[in-house]
Structure 1
């Protein structure tokens, strides 16, 4: 740490308020445990809370610019070393006490940047395993039980829920700047939302006056569903008039059918409310999970806004959406418990959510959220932009031998039915204008340090193995914040989702 280049990097890239998100998470955990929010509280936290806190700190540190510039003794960036530390933290034999000095330093009222980065170096040096000798020394697929392992006969809710809880792990809520991050790029959203809300305030019988007109006082599910569907339809009609690309061009409408199973799931699954890609969808329409763009969960009791109730229910819906839509990278959704709303994102690391807000107190936020769901484009909703469509064909473009080739996707062969994990998908495919050449395209999420599969495929290709066709999309999703993001560190979880999940990188291969 003492040489000039590292000192200069730290000086030129101050942490500033880059740890605010970590401190906010610490305060939230302490308040939940009813203990004082001081560094001494670390000694009173349970192992699970402490582990979660360390994971948040590691994620936050990775977003800081200095983490990509500073290098460890191994030559890797601290960003890479922190990814390894992240994996080590979740193991049973990791001693969290080793990170206590770093935690206390990060929580100090006047943090010392040099000390913090020194303690980061100490943490990653102590936890980094020796380099592997052979490609087989590290398993490509971690031993993780998730819901993709179920046989069809085990898809009953009572079997799924327990494993789904384990798969999702801790779900983080109350993330700052969530709405700006996911809805901030939707063109004209703020202007149109403001215009609609102002209309709701006008007249002798305004639609909004100290709350929404007609909102069921007891938040009865059936009444709320009816109210929500009517509200969404009125908002969609208004939006069609005020949008250069009308809502119907996006082919979506609200759907409310809590008592009718949605087609396409192995076990019977019902959805309270959501948005579908069918402009003709009505109360009696039959829908498939492949049509659900934004799932929602309604609860009449505000106290149901917790992991064991509304959050898990929405996670169950997100699993069905990801399973049915083979190009979906993540799923946006929402919960409304009483009149308290959250917006959610489920990706291959689990689920995170916005702050809770009362739709009858913050009417404009509610309008902006619903209109955002109606106006978002497919990429903003979580669809993979590298899988394209033209002339009623789906295809990907890959680089092979220095040139770009187009591979036509024929059909899905296999897709893992899970939320968190590698989520491997295989398609039957063929090279463009060569339908007689059968290929299998594999798409999966991969730990950065578990790169043996790709190395083996490349080696086989380079050695001219017969019946081997390997090409790489050249696509690895970058972890970029949207334009105008006020503070990178405040979006440590959003950053994780907007790019491919931080522990994974995108891998596409085409092989016979």
Structure 2
């Protein structure tokens, strides 16, 4: 529909008119009228809407931004539906604000809106022109039930998050064709979620995107991952034989004795507990002699685990059954997520054995396990959907699974016995724990080889552990050398890096040797080896198993086909065999043909996906820094925070000018505080995983998004090439985030800005543009959002806003002087 026809046919429905009536504009447009008048009067044009055409282009743009900034705070804006999609009108305003800011919007479209504003027309007439100016289709009721509190509170539904993924994917595909081999496309990850309550529906959507196509139906999965259990095959076969023998066999012709016919969760949990205990009893003669631990099944689907975000309730899993766990349980009353060795997920219906159901539910618990266990390299798990068992492995590339087995059939029953005994007997290394991290006398340690000599580092405490699955899996510990009487602090960092990336250890070594200031200095780095073999995902962990696996899409298709055939068969049985045999076979053939077509299409897509996915690999890296600091948000005072931030900005400048590297991931966790350091050295910059030679970016023209999304610069969010100016903008957003989320040093809270973790990139860019548009917009939002503790920093933040975003938008050209501008403002506040 063209714009002219849209204007002729646009009408308000009753639901929209009701919202407008309940949320009157009143004097909400007066400030805009005054602003328009001041701009027009300054060049003797008067305040008539007709003056708009006589203004120069830059002033018309300012008028458009002013009306948008005014509209976004009107109550009705945050209740009315968009006319172009199933979202809020507020989102259309954000899109338009971003388009105007980047000169992608025809500002003449607002002229009819200006006329009704200055004519003091009825509210309905004003909103009609708003829709005509900023929407592309007819409106779609119903209304949103409750208003949105502030700029930060935007859609948080799973639908919105899914739409965000689609838009982000489109944006990524538009730029990845220009990426160099050194650029890994940025994807949304749960590892970057910050200061969030992590409600299930929000995290689920991002986690599914993060995991991508899970690899399933892998033959030999259990045999490969359970090979570390001595004589498991012999034990499982003997135990399964015992299950089928005697006067009261545990496994009969119909399957496992006592298996609940309807497979309801509570009934299956009870059966699972009983059968696991029975299997362990029957296997007593085969239990490995060197086992020093005992395990048990944990079944408490209605009790959440301690330490979990969003009060996660795991169906089932295996834990250690020892005195230490019992002492913690008696003290706290609930198990902790760190106790879970093998998470499991139960579903009553076999149709739930698909990515959207059992698999994604299991991944939620796996993510919690990874986050709670700092030495975990990978996690083994299982799903039981109806009688169908799958075994799973998750790592820093995603996940993969075995074929599925019907445990009520002999072959599946044997697999079930082998899997359960394996989980009960497997050592910690087999379960995915890092064997290099040793425990003795209440101390944990790790050995490195530095300058040809072995050194033992004693781990003092955990500093940071990434919360994602498919990610770098970064873990940082404070440590010291065992032979150092002064116990000078070191920082051990371990992560899983893509093989094509520059090695972080070499970057830090080079920067240290070149005298870069205010960064964590180099001590040692190495590629991790386990059992003499380089520790990577494809070979060391997955053992090459996933190269011929099916993808989740293909499995979903096969499950659909099986479900279709099952339904056809059931219907066929109800018909007479004589009259319906022909039609039944015809329908079945059609269904099979359709299923084959879908499988063929899925296979083609899966092969393309598999080619890309299997070419990726992550390698386990270790880096040791000389310098230790605490996270910047733990600063003892606002003054200490500003001192540290200023030092980090100078460190960033030194890294560029002396080291020739651009950092590209300025975030709340990559800026450290050293309050006892000398003046000018109160903060240090860390985490160079994403750093790249600046000259290489300029030559490649790559526009891949990098960084932590809450702190990404506006232009990076919309796909522009990363520059040092964007890193400086990220420093601004780090300080903004701390002021919103910390009520005292290290006392975090959740806020409406939680949504920044989940909205799509373009919407986040629009929200940020409105916040920084001008001083009144910024100060209004800051007064609403900043904690009482950091509210005194609002004037300083407004000064920073003015230099980072001159004229209410990012700089048009790079300006090296911005370093000094930002530093001077921060230092002035310290005097």
Partner of 2:357: 309
* 1:454 aligned onto 2:505: yes
Partner of 2:335: 287
Contact 1:349 1:501 (C-alpha < 8 Å) held by counterparts: no
Structure 2 distance, partners of 1:454, 1:472, is 5
Q: Secondary structure of the equivalent of 2:236?
A: helix
1:92 to 173, 180, 185: 173
1:477 to 528, 535, 538: 535
Deviation at 1:458, TM superposition (A): 2.2
Number of residues paired by the alignment? 378
Partner of 1:418: 468
1:31-70, aligned counterparts within 5 Å?
A: none
Runs of at least 4 residues off by over 6 Å: 127-131, 280-285, 464-467, 485-488
Q: Secondary structure of the equivalent of 1:231?
A: helix
Partner of 1:221: 265
Contact 2:460 2:480 (C-alpha < 8 Å) held by counterparts: yes
2:398 to 320, 342, 350: 350
* 1:263 aligned onto 2:316: no
What is the TM-score with the length of structure 1 in the denominator? 0.67
Partner of 2:618: 504
Distance 1:311 1:409, change over 3 A: same
Partner of 1:363: 413
Q: Secondary structure of the equivalent of 1:386?
A: coil
Contact 1:190 1:368 (C-alpha < 8 Å) held by counterparts: yes
Q: Deviations over 1:471-507 (max 9, x none)?
A: 124423155479xx999965799xx9xxx99521111
| Gap runs ≥5 in structure 2 | 1-170, 529-533, 552-609, 628-831
1:397 to 444, 447, 465: 447
Contact 2:215 2:549 (C-alpha < 8 Å) held by counterparts: no
| Gap runs ≥5 in structure 1 | 1-89, 96-126, 132-137
* 1:251 aligned onto 2:294: yes
Contact 1:262 1:268 (C-alpha < 8 Å) held by counterparts: yes
What is the TM-score with the length of structure 2 in the denominator? 0.42
Q: Deviations over 1:40-87 (max 9, x none)?
A: xxxxxxxxxxxxxxxxxxxxxxxxxxxxxxxxxxxxxxxxxxxxxxxx
Contact 1:348 1:501 (C-alpha < 8 Å) held by counterparts: no
Partner of 1:441: 492
Structure 2 distance, partners of 1:327, 1:502, is 23
1:104-503, aligned counterparts within 5 Å?
A: 138=182, 143-210=186-253, 211-245=255-289, 249-279=292-322, 286-361=334-409, 362-434=412-484, 436-460=487-511, 462=513, 468-475=521-528, 476-477=534-535, 480=539, 490=548, 503=617
Structure 2 distance, partners of 1:375, 1:142, is 40
Partner of 1:109: none
Q: Deviations over 1:170-223 (max 9, x none)?
A: 112111221211113321111111111111111122111120000101101111
Contact 2:301 2:316 (C-alpha < 8 Å) held by counterparts: yes
Distance 1:94 1:360, change over 3 A: farther
Contact 1:320 1:417 (C-alpha < 8 Å) held by counterparts: yes
Which structure has the highest helix share of the two? 2
Structure 2 distance, partners of 1:428, 1:501, is 34
- CA-based RMSD of the aligned residues comes to 3.2
Q: Secondary structure of the equivalent of 1:155?
A: coil
Q: Which has the larger radius of gyration?
A: 2
Q: Secondary structure of the equivalent of 1:215?
A: coil
Contact 2:172 2:185 (C-alpha < 8 Å) held by counterparts: no
Structure 2 distance, partners of 1:464, 1:387, is 33
Contact 2:287 2:425 (C-alpha < 8 Å) held by counterparts: no
Deviates more, 1:202-211 or 1:278-287: 278-287
Structure 1 distance, partners of 2:299, 2:447, is 38
Structure 2 distance, partners of 1:501, 1:295, is 29
